[in-house]
Amino acid sequence: MLLAIDAGNTNVVFAVFDGDSKQGQWRISTDGRRTADEYAVWLTSLMTMKGLRREDIDAAILGSVVPAATFNLQRLCRDHFGVEPMRIGAPGVRLGIEIRIDNPREAGADRLLNAIAAVATYPAPLVVVDIGTGTTFDIVDRDGGFCGGVIAPGPSLALDALHRVAAQLPKVDIVRPATVIGKGTVGAMQSGMFWGYLSMIEGLLTRIEAELSPTGDPPVTVIVTGGLGAQFAEATSMIDHIDNELTLRGLLLVHQRNTAS
């Protein structure tokens, strides 16, 4: 079985695959100080609850955008599962997608994995909107190559910053207000976070589509992923698909491409 690890800025997600079938999935908050032993105690306990044993794992793959966490996640695989993890971005690991940006090393593992899984599932050209710690737009051209994107702060990050620097502004939840015009401070902040971010998403998608497919033929497919993706997708007609499994599927695909006989 394959242990797939997606280390993002907010959470580390673990999944176990038996072939194409996912047997379990778990997440823990990202902490660069967490040791391999701590990961092992937590993860193996959860695996046991699913009837999985550490001996069942015979391969691992890691995608990380958190260098401080990468070392201990690699040690987790080596010391507690007895496997050397394949790492996205390591020399010799074939992604199966052409990276058409100025410096391919700058592309984060999560963005590449989203693009890899998306182009294997949906028609290109396409845009993956990942709403998490940051809001990223990962773009695949009509020939199936990763050609760049857009990076902006995520709504939760922006809201936390607003609360920290403005003494009179409370910390509020991100919800969809019934009206754009807020009748109080909380309503006004929620409108800014929800409708403001949705307007940014729609505006950027409009500009991206104009550059990616100026005539509209072929049409651009838009996929949203990430913790807040579904909430925003329900309020716009510009998003075609909600898919929160992209990054893990990307890890699975890369491992399969590099181990196929």
What is the per-residue pLDDT across 236-253, written as a single tens digit (0 to 9) for each? 999 999 999 999 999 999
Q: Which pLDDT band, with edges at 50, 70 and 90, does 159 fall under?
A: confident
Cβ atoms 180, 200 nearer than 8 A? no
How far apart CA 153 and CA 181 sit, in angstroms, is 23
11 is in an annotated binding site: yes
- Determine the average pLDDT of the residues in 179-184: 94
Q: Is 111 annotated as a binding residue?
A: yes
Query: Where, residue-wise, is CATH 3.30.420.40 in the chain?
Result: 2-87, 104-249
d(CA 29, CA 13): 9
31 carries an active-site annotation: no
Region of 104 on the Ramachandran plot (φ > 0 left; ψ -120 to 50 alpha; else beta)? alpha
Catalytic residue (choose from 37, 110, 138, 160): 110
Predicted TM-score (pTM) above 0.85: yes
pLDDT at 260: 82
Q: How far apart are CA 106 and CA 151, in angstroms?
A: 12
Please check whether residue 12 is in contact with residue 30, taking contact to mean a CB–CB distance below 8 angstroms: yes
The domain covering 2-87 belongs, at the CATH homologous superfamily level, to ATPase, nucleotide binding domain (3.30.420.40)
Is 37 labelled as part of a ligand binding site?
A: no
> How does residue 167 score in pLDDT terms, banded at 50, 70 and 90?
low
CATH number of 104-249: 3.30.420.40
